[in-house]
Amino acid sequence: MKLISFAIGGEARYGAVEGDAVVDLTARLGRRFPTLLSLIEADAMAEAQAALATAGPRHTLAGITWLKPIPAARRIFCVGANYPKVHPTGGMVSGPEFPAIFQKPAETLVPHKAVLQAPTASRQFDYEGELAFIVGRGGANIAPEWALEHVFGYSCLNDGSVRDFQKHSVWAGKNFIRSGGFGPWLVTADEVGDPASLTLVTRLNGDEVQRTGLDRMFFSVPAIIAYLSAVTPLLPGDVVATGSPEGSGATRTPPRWLVPGDRIEVEVEKVGVLENTVSD
């Protein structure tokens, strides 16, 4: 199932995407589960599935305002340097012993179709297309062989990066406001299957700039879950971005930084296409 957070008339809602329409689940389930996060926390997908066949409003995708799949995610974990490549800040990335984890606040990300805000403090604004997954069932010390049972669904994420700031501070380079995208929706894990079998493609103004099989990640989705849950119990609704492959703007000759007017698309097979434009 494709699940989406959206707004109509300024009111935040969530629903299920069917073709070019959105089945409004807030209208059907909102008294018990007012947000998509609350539906995930309650493990209420069976009720959501049953609600699709009941009477209630439907909306066109063209008539909604897109919101991030988990609009106010409590925690967004990101994995750095998870593919073999030239690192955007210099040097080669080879297989590390442990994942490199950092966090982003929700304010750094915008939804599908929204504009990215080019920073005023730097011209080195870069893109990084990534697979993101959303935790369903939480837990601590999760064994890799059981880890995929804790994934609720998958989405696309653009981990916007400001490279000159990243050289002196990963936190600074990754946390400029409205610098990245998240969406367009989340697709439940049962429809995706093994994430390692998927392909990720990033396009800049229609030209392909990144392409990879997700089996090339140093740390798979199960390995990431096992590592994170050994440090902190994972919670329903946690968002985890799994890293970006070669092809970012910083590694090109000459570097290709994002500028106002650019259109960036991140596509993950079986998941969808996240599209954002850049504003000043």
Q: Is the dihedral of CA 148, 109, 260, 275 positive or negative?
A: positive
Q: Provide the CATH number for the domain formed by 76-279 in this structure.
A: 3.90.850.10
Q: Place 255 in a pLDDT band, splitting at 50, 70 and 90.
A: very high
Q: Where do the structural domains in the chain lie, given as residue ranges?
A: 2-66, 76-279
Evaluate whether 40 touches 230 at the Cβ level (below 8 Å).
no
Q: Place 86 in a pLDDT band, splitting at 50, 70 and 90.
A: low
* pLDDT at res. 93: 64
Taking 90 as the threshold, does the pLDDT of residue 96 lie above it?
no
pTM: 0.96
Give the tens place of pLDDT for each residue, 32-80. 999 999 999 999 999 999 999 999 999 999 999 999 999 989 999 999 9
* pLDDT at res. 95: 76
User: With 0-12 CB in 10 A as exposed, 13-18 as middle and 19+ as buried, what is 211?
Assistant: middle
